[in-house]
Structure 1
Amino acid sequence: MTTPPDIELRTFTTLADVRGDLLDVYAEVRAPLLHLPNYAVATFGERLDRHGTDPGFTAVLAYADGYPVGYVYGNTIEHGDRYWKRTSPAPAKTYTGRPAVALKEIGVRATWRKTGTARRIHDAFLTAREEPYVTLMVNSVAGDGKVHALYKSWGYEDIGQSQPSPASPALTVMIRASHWLA
């Protein structure tokens, strides 16, 4: 990791205030995959619009000189949520018996990677959360497995698999205590 960059972290609870910045950063972060239906900007926009209306929606964006360089967003999920219903094997009731926060997306522009920006926005996102657990889904082969390994280094553990849509790859479902600190 290089010297931590000078960034400003901003938290949003309304999608309308930040939708354009999220789409811009997403398009650059996922550029190599945009030709795949699940990763197309329009498909992401549809998911984002749906997630933006879910309970507990929050987004944290990192800005450098007013320019968005990274983001994370997610929302609260409850017992019986389709998030848990799609996870196989079914997660332990320890996790699903009370609200959790589902981290739906995290991304950092290439020039800001390996600077600690992803971890900073991740931790800022969790700081304002009250749920005891945070869960996410990751493509285990993304970045030749480096993304999955990064989440493990942040304290996440694998608890199952999920395929949120027919166009989505099979994803590894991971979880950790939401206020665990390294």
Structure 2
Amino acid sequence: MSTAAASRISIERYADLAGIRQVMLDVYADVRHDLIHLPHYSVDSFAERLDRHAAEDGWEVVIGYDGVEPVGYAYGNTVLAGNRWWTRMDEPLPEGFDQVPAVALKELGVRPAWRKTGASLRLHDALLAGRTEPRVTLLVNPKAGDGKVQALYANWGYAPFNHQTPSPGSPALVAMVRAIRSEAF
């Protein structure tokens, strides 16, 4: 597929998991097909995280479709001061860092057939376009794609600021942040 494939993707936005949960699980299984044998990456583990995340404040997902075929998704939720997103960081945060609202990008996944087409950036940007928070934060496995995933986020303007191991069985992750709007920091 070419980068033109991303331009024909339609984006749907949802604030409720009802009706799309199975679509997300199916896409996840395809996205993580090479890792789902590992406990943290199993479909059941993802389903538990998805259900928990969808119940959090400000949860929202965008799903991209090529015709009727789902190609990927991006979802996140609002994190404010005191949220466990901030309290689980390995190093103390700078004074007031968690006082600025942020959207935590919890998952971004694109099915293999649509990778390297621009679909991931399209989904990412569509999710952020609907958000009111001035900045976005995410966690990335620095080993994913031999470091290429973290480098991709850096190309999108993210900068590392901390580390976190969010749950037992999870790999150590790099916490990254970037502005959505100029008043972010």
Partner of 2:18: helix, strand, or coil? helix
Match of 1:139 in 2: 141
Matched, 1:159 2:161: yes
| Unaligned ranges ≥5, structure 2 | none
What's the offset of the Cα at 1:151? Answer: 0.2
Amino acid at match of 2:116: K
Structure 1 pair 176/128, CA: closer, same or farther in 2 (3 Å)? same
Match of 1:2 in 2: 2
Match of residue 114, structure 1, among 99, 113, 116: 116
Match of residue 57, structure 2, among 55, 58, 68: 55
Superposed CA RMSD? 1.3
Match of 1:42 in 2: 44
Partner of 1:137: helix, strand, or coil? strand
Partner of 1:42: helix, strand, or coil? helix
Contact 2:158 2:178 in 1 (8 A): yes
Matched, 1:87 2:109: no
Partner of 1:21: helix, strand, or coil? helix
1:28-68 Cα shifts (integer Å, max 9, x gaps): 11111111111000000000000001000100010011110
Match of 1:32 in 2: 34
In the superposition, the TM-score normalised over structure 2's length comes to 0.93
What's the offset of the Cα at 1:94? Answer: 4.7
What's the offset of the Cα at 1:143? Answer: 0.5
| Unaligned ranges ≥5, structure 1 | none
In the superposition, the TM-score normalised over structure 1's length comes to 0.95
Match of 2:151 in 1: 149
Runs of 4+ in 1 over 6 A off after TM superposition: none
1:123-147 Cα shifts (integer Å, max 9, x gaps): 0000010111100000001001100
In 2, the alpha carbon distance for the partners of 1:94 and 1:124 equals 28
What's the offset of the Cα at 1:92? Answer: 2.5
Match of residue 171, structure 2, among 169, 172, 177: 169
